[in-house]
Amino acid sequence: MTLAKTTFAALLASAALATAAGACEMTLRSSDTHPDGYPTVEAVKAMGGMVEERTNGRICIEVFPSAQLGEEKDSIEQTQFGVIDLDRVSLGPFNNIVEETQVVSLPYIFRSVDHMHHVMDGPIGDEILAAFEPHDLIGLAFYDGGSRSFYNSEKPIHSIADMKGMKFRVMQSDIFVDMVDALGANATPMPYGEVYTSIQTGAIDGAENNWPSYDTSGHYEVAKYYTLDQHLIVPEVLVMSKLTWDKLTPEDQAIVRQAAKDSVPIMRDLWEQQEKVSQDKIRAAGVEVVTDIDKTPFIEAMAPVYQKYVTTDKLKDLVQRIQATE
């Protein structure tokens, strides 16, 4: 942990030096919905440090946090068009674009974050990264998004029965709409940036997310009941516009790809620290956290979602291989 922090600081320092020297021939603009300091934002900055160092300052990365370049669905389109060069996004908003991402966005597909790492760090992860290319995107690396659970402003949820009729925001993906329907609640897909106000005004009762997002979005201020049903472990991805990629020499492409891979352990280390910090902050703020939840009925309720989405032989095979991964 100390090593990663030291490396990270050194990378940022070398990036600052290269930038100060004004040597960047190409500056890649990278989008993230999260604020400065969030693990994904800092990981892409660290990647930028590596890219600058390894290209002798020719290629730089500038991270635009807090959805400055747009909400995720729009930022994906902008990246496909080459307006944005790099985009760090959850796989959720890709579900309606890149079919293979649906499988790793299914509720309870991963048994744990470790299981998700084993799958995404292996051949299945490589296949999914490659699946972006026909959609004008280059999949570079997977990041973490912890596990997502429901929170709301109304009451503590102890069972599926408690969810009946409640309104939850989900990411803009059909799978998550069906997931919430299967739990007897109503789903409203909407951009992340609209969730706080929508809970505050009562347009929705709540949403679902991991500890760091629940914290940094401020949603815990308006939705004070969090139930750790952990229905989703959705990996996150860093993609590059294929238009930008094609402007790079093969050598520079290799540098960018390797730097993205090298930013993953930094991201995981920062993530582990942030999860603890966010959890402590949220509990200290008086949020009621329900931990004694029986997940079995939640898992069983997902059968129709699997039936609806896992239809082709390709997707069935992917699900089987994920389940068979230790």
Separation in Å, CA 77 to CA 27, 40, 135, 257, 302: 20, 20, 10, 21, 30
**Minimal distance, residue 66 CB to ligand GTR, in Å:** 12
Which is closer to ligand GTR, CB of 192 or CB of 225? 192
Tally the C-alpha atoms within 13 A of residue 265's C-alpha that lie toward its C-beta.
10
Query: Does 33 engage in binding with ligand GTR (CB under 6 A)?
Result: yes
Q: How far apart are the first and last CA of the chain?
A: 25
Which is closer to ligand GTR, CB of 176 or CB of 298? 176
Separation in Å, CA 93 to CA 72, 175, 281: 7, 10, 28
Give me 162's structure tokens. Answer: 């408690």
Of 319, 51, 93, 285, nearest to 189 by C-alpha is 93
Show contacts with ligand GTR in window 183-202 (CB under 6 A): 192
Which is closer to ligand GTR, CB of 51 or CB of 170? 170
Of 87, 36, 57, 20, nearest to 243 by C-alpha is 87
In angstroms, rounded to a whole number, what is the distance separating the alpha carbons of residues 77 and 286? 39
Which is closer to ligand GTR, CB of 33 or CB of 80? 33
- Crossing angle for the helix pair 123-130 and 313-324, to the nearest 10 degrees: 150
**Minimal distance, residue 159 CB to ligand GTR, in Å:** 24
Query: Does 144 engage in binding with ligand GTR (CB under 6 A)?
Result: no
Q: Which stretch binds ligand GTR (CB under 6 A): 208-216, 218-226, 273-281, 294-302?
A: 208-216
Show contacts with ligand GTR in window 246-305 (CB under 6 A): none
Show contacts with ligand GTR in window 69-128 (CB under 6 A): 72, 89-90, 92
Among 65, 107, 145, 206, binds ligand GTR (CB under 6 A): 145
Which is closer to ligand GTR, CB of 54 or CB of 88? 88
Binding site for ligand GTR (CB under 6 A): 33, 72, 89-90, 92, 145, 171, 192, 209-210, 213, 236
